[in-house]
């Protein structure tokens, strides 16, 4: 605007001098209204400038289009110049076309933030281009990214816990980890950041045929206490073949991957369709296998044990969530292969995947002993306790024979499981030895060799398991923690809390809160 005012002043001065010259030459009309002429001149000058600028842009566009048609080496700069010129001329369609060509040539997405396109900022072709290519974290992208990060954090915590069954942790941990990485990959696509990091192309695809086997063998482990063998590695063959098939894609340069991500080709689209169909088939097959394991357990084991019920509820819930996820993925597949044109199916698939990760993460924090088969290593059933071990060095000179040791172990097991001597708050090694009719030294040796713990650890362990049974059976959840502590043999709440946290990795109050979820 200041520039235009300066043009007006300059023109007015020019007219003034011309008027002086006209007056001298007898050409000046004294009746002319100079003030009125000045206002009209300003509008005329502004219109004249706009027309001349428009004509100038049209000339520049013709020149640049001619250069571009001659396949000049500087096509990148010409495309950018044409995009700006068409934008200034309010031709959003052609401006967007040259912006896209420029992006393909340079991989420079920052051009979409350039202020020179303010003239077409509200036009549909330009807005469609921005939506398709400009990096931007929307709600969906943030939700996927956040869930993926939470899943990875949960896996780290699980692997740090040493009291859980390592095989169960490995299987469910890998299941959650691969899904979390997949969710982060989806987040990059939904925010268009995959264009800034083209080497993420197909990075999570090798996990496609691992989800089913991991959850299937996890179920076999926690339900049947199944031990993995070498033959189970046959389930990895589809993944191995998939990686070999993807190797040529991984070997492409960043620029080549960028082109594929930007536009894609028919072969890429066909490959995606095939992968989606095969993944849906894999998930369905393993879902059937998981259901058979669950059904057999439901038929063969009917018990009122609270821990069994809690584990059974967990297995049922995760199976149902997984089934919903598989069904949602199949519906998503119908959209990908163009059998159905219904966009919400894509969101349903993501919702169940996120729900599954959140549920596993929540349960792993509240009840890790339930979902990680913790009882397999610290069972309350004493018949599963380890058999006698070779005598430690300090017992080499002991007179305790193996047959007597086994007999004392049987008597001790009876005292603990049926008589529940640990409920006596005055229980001691001496008193327990009197009950067994043996020496203090022999009792200590039997506990160390057969239970692999000290006397105090053994008593605390059975007390805590008894407390857990009481909490599990309290359906109204109105018991006081101190009353339970007294009932199982403790003299104060502090000692009870310390022992409980040692064996359960949480306080009694946290454990009670977790029961509401199950």
Query: What's the whole-number mean pLDDT along residues 407-414?
Result: 86
Biggest CA-to-CA distance, the chain: 144
Give pLDDT, residue 215. 92
pLDDT, tens digit, 9 for 90 and up, residues 373-399: 544 433 443 433 444 444 454 555 566
Give pLDDT, residue 287. 94
DSSP state of 447: I
pLDDT, tens digit, 9 for 90 and up, residues 216-252: 999 888 887 788 888 999 999 999 999 999 999 899 9
pLDDT, tens digit, 9 for 90 and up, residues 434-452: 888 888 888 888 888 888 8
> What mean pLDDT, rounded, does the chain reach?
78
Structural domain boundaries in the chain: 49-133, 139-376, 382-517
- Looking at the chain, how many residues does it have? 518
pLDDT, tens digit, 9 for 90 and up, residues 351-371: 888 888 888 877 777 777 666
Q: How confident is the model at residue 175 (pLDDT cuts 50, 70, 90)?
A: very high
In the CATH hierarchy, which fold is given to the domain comprising 382-517? Arc Repressor Mutant, subunit A (1.10.10)
pLDDT, tens digit, 9 for 90 and up, residues 95-151: 888 888 888 888 888 888 778 788 888 888 888 888 888 888 888 899 889 999 998
Contact between residue 354 and residue 183 where contact means Cβ atoms under 8 Å apart: yes
The CA-CA-CA angle for residues 70, 74, 78, to 5°, reads: 80
Residue 313 has pLDDT above 90, yes or no: no
In the CATH hierarchy, which fold is given to the domain comprising 139-376? Rhopdopsin 7-helix transmembrane proteins (1.20.1070)
Query: What's the whole-number mean pLDDT along residues 479-501?
Result: 89
Percent of the chain with pLDDT over 90: 15
Give pLDDT, residue 72. 65
Q: Could you tell me the CA-to-CA distances from 227 to 173, 212, 350, 392 in Å, in that order? A: 17, 18, 33, 29
Q: Could you tell me the CA-to-CA distances from 476 to 314, 472, 479, 500, 512 in Å, in that order? A: 20, 10, 8, 21, 11
How many other C-beta atoms are found inside a 10 Å radius of the C-beta of residue 338?
Answer: 9
């Amino acid at each position: 605007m200041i520039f235009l005012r300066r043009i007006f002043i300059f023109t007015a001065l020019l007219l003034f001098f011309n008027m002086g010259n006209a007056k001298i030459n007898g050409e000046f009309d004294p009746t002319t209204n100079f003030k009125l002429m000045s206002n009209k001149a300003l509008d005329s000058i502004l219109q004249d400038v706009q027309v001349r600028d428009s004509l100038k842009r049209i000339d520049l566009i013709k020149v640049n289009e001619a250069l571009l048609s001659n396949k000049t080496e500087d096509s990148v700069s010409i495309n950018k110049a044409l995009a700006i010129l068409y934008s200034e001329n309010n031709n959003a369609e052609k401006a967007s076309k040259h912006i896209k060509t420029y992006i393909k040539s340079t991989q420079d997405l920052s051009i979409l933030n350039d202020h020179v396109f303010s003239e077409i900022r509200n036009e549909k072709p330009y807005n469609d281009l921005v939506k398709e290519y400009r990096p931007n974290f929307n709600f969906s992208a943030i939700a996927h990214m956040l869930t993926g990060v939470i899943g990875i954090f949960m896996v780290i915590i699980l692997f740090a816990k040493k009291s859980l069954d390592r095989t169960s942790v490995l299987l469910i941990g890998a299941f959650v980890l691969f899904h979390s990485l997949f969710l982060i990959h989806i987040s990059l696509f939904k925010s268009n950041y995959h264009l800034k990091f083209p080497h993420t192309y197909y990075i999570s695809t090798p996990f496609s045929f691992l989800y089913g086997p991991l959850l299937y063998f996890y179920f076999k482990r926690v339900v049947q206490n199944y031990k993995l063998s070498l033959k189970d590695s046959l389930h990895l063959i589809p993944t191995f073949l998939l990686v070999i098939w993807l190797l040529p894609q991984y070997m492409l340069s960043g620029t080549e991957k960028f082109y594929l991500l930007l536009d894609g080709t028919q072969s890429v689209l066909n490959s995606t369709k095939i992968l989606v169909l095969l993944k849906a088939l894999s998930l369905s097959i393993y879902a059937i296998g998981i259901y058979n394991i669950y059904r057999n357990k439901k038929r063969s084991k009917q018990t009122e044990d609270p821990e069994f019920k809690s584990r059974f509820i967990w297995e049922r819930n995760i199976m149902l969530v997984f089934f919903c996820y598989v069904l949602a993925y199949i519906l998503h597949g119908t959209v990908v292969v163009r059998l159905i044109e219904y966009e919400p199916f894509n969101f349903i698939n993501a919702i169940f995947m996120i729900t599954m990760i959140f549920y596993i993460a929540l349960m792993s924090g509240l009840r890790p002993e339930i979902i990680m088969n913790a009882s397999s290593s610290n069972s309350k059933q004493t018949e599963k306790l380890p058999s006698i071990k070779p005598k430690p060095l300090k017992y080499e000179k002991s007179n305790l024979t193996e047959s007597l040791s086994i007999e004392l172990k049987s008597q001790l097991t009876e005292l603990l499981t049926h008589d529940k001597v640990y409920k006596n708050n005055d229980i001691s090694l001496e008193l327990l030895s009197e009950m067994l009719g043996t020496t203090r030294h022999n009792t200590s040796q039997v506990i160390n060799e057969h239970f692999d713990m000290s006397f105090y650890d053994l008593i605390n362990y059975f007390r805590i398991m008894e407390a857990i049974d009481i909490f599990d059976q309290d359906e109204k959840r109105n018991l006081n923690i101190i009353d339970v502590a007294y009932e199982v043999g403790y003299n104060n709440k502090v000692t009870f809390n310390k022992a409980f946290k040692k064996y359960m990795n949480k306080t009694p109050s946290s454990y009670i809160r977790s029961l509401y979820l199950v």
